Every structure is written in structure tokens, then in C-alpha cells.
Amino acid sequence: MRIAYQGVIGAYSEAAALRFNDSADLMPCPAFEDVFKAVDDGKATHGILPIENTIGGTIHRNYALLLDHGLPIVAEITLPIVHHLIVNEGTSLEQVQRVYSHPQGLAQCEGFLRRLAGVEIVATYDTAGSAKMIKEESMTDSAAIASDRAARHFGLEILQSGIQDYADNMTRFLFVSKDATPLGPPDKTTIVFTVSNEAGALFKALSVFALRDIALTKLESRPIPDRPFEYLFYADLNANREDLRCARALMHLAEFAPSLKTLGSYPSWKDA
């Protein structure tokens, strides 16, 4: 199993991949698009993507990429996220003039950052990549928000630990593959659909699941780029699409949804 992930060593995506399979061969990629390309080109068997965080919300870009590339979701995992303020050895908090991190990392530490008067907040492509940058460029007036693994790997010092706004900070990751075989018994399905622009259309769409006692664990609308003020609806269902009740619900939805696509049926993550 070779898993492509966005970032460098010490990235949270790397930690999630290792939590899922600690013997997997890992392939770092510069951007989320490169993760999909690695799987598309056969350089990796699977890709892992953060999809939502309990503080920062949804990573919308990855929902768009799931739809664009058509790689099925085959598994998920959740990872507790603990952020640290990381500096070169000897740098004090008073010396820090800039803090670098991925936009999600910055959003998850907004309260802490607000208390740093006069400090510039700079968004980068990766949490661990920010730690790598301040190390390689010997920045003594800058800090990164990243993992403890990133600090250890790049030989940096943790100035403050657990700086995220809430202790229960979790990120959900999805695994994609060209092989649609789920990595375990599937009990969850992700779909994307549209509804007609008429009264009660969304109610009718959701009723096909309520009538069959299928719970929705997520529902989110996203704008359709080339159709102003029209929306895609992404939904997570607590059911395997092959189950009779789920199959019938999807067939029912397809009768009046202008478009409907299943992005994957896969095992939900259960912490040991």
C-alpha cells in the first residue's frame, strides 16, 4: 500500500496515513491536486485527503477535486489535532514577528493568534512545510504552527503546546483509490446531488432517507461554478449503498434529482 499525501514529513496527513496503516509506504506531494495525480498515474495505490475539521470546517477544495477526478472513496479516518508553536532554538515569544502555517492550522488557532499583538499571520501551503521553511531559512524572528513530529524531524523547539482553540480538535480524512474496493466492510456512503429550483425540492430529496431510517451525518451545499446561485449538495449516509434500503433510497432520489453521483461506499472510522 502506497499512500500519497499533501505536505512534507510531519504533516497531519502523514500522521493520519500512519495511524491507518503504520507499515504503508508514504509519498509526499506539494498540493492536493498532486495527490490525485499520483493515484491517477499509478504512482500511489491510495491518496489521503483532509475533508473536514471540527474547528475550521470543511476543506472545500477537496470536495471539488473528488468530483473532478472521480476517484472513489474507499475509507476514512479521524485524527486528533494538537497544534504547537514551533521556533528555531533560542527564539523567544517576544522575538516572534511572523507566524506561518496552513490556513486551516491558522483558523484552528485563531484565539491564540489574536492574543499575539503586532504579529503578522502568514498562510502557507502546509503546516509541516512552514516548520521546514523556518528551519532551512534560519528564521529567528518567526514561528510555525505544526505538529510535534514536525518539530522533532526538523530539529526545532516547541515554544507553546496545545494552542488550538478547542481541546477536542479533530480532522476527518478520506482515502481515495482507482480500485473502488473499500478497505473494510462498508457502512457509510458519500453522495453528491442537485435539486430542481422549486419549493420543497430539498425536502423531497432528504425524505427518501428519512422514510427508510437512514441517518445523514453530513449535509453541505456548494455553489456550482458555471451556474450562478445553483448548488451541489454533498451528503454522508450511515449506510452501505448495496444495502437494499439505501439502494432503494438512491433509486428514489434519482427519479427527481437532476444529477446524482455516489462518491464512494466505505467503512466509517471507529477508534479502538
Supply the residues annotated as catalytic. 171, 173
Partners of 56 in the β-ladder: none
The answer to whether residues 190 and 262 touch, using CB atoms and an 8 Å cutoff, is yes
Cβ proximity of 131 and 175 under 8 Å: no
**Residue 211: how many other CB atoms lie within 10 Å:** 12
Cell numbers 430529496 correspond to: 205
263 near 67, Cβ under 8 Å? yes
- The residue among 191, 187, 185 whose CA lies nearest residue 250 is 191
| Residue 270: Cβ-neighbour burial (10 angstroms; 0-12, 13-18, 19+) | exposed
Query: What cell numbers appear for 110 in the block?
Result: 485563531
CB–CB of 132/14 below 8 Å? no
Residue 85 and residue 143 in contact, taking contact as beta carbons nearer than 8 Å: yes
**Torsion from C-alpha of 18, 19, 20, 21, nearest 10 degrees:** 40
User: Residues of 30-40 as b/e, b for ≥16 C-beta within 10 angstroms?
Assistant: eebebbbbbbe
Which residues, 6+ apart, have CB-to-CB distance to 152 below 8 Å? 10
Torsion angle (degrees, nearest 10) of CA 56, 38, 193, 55: -10
> Taking the CA atoms of the chain, what radius of gyration do you get in angstroms?
20
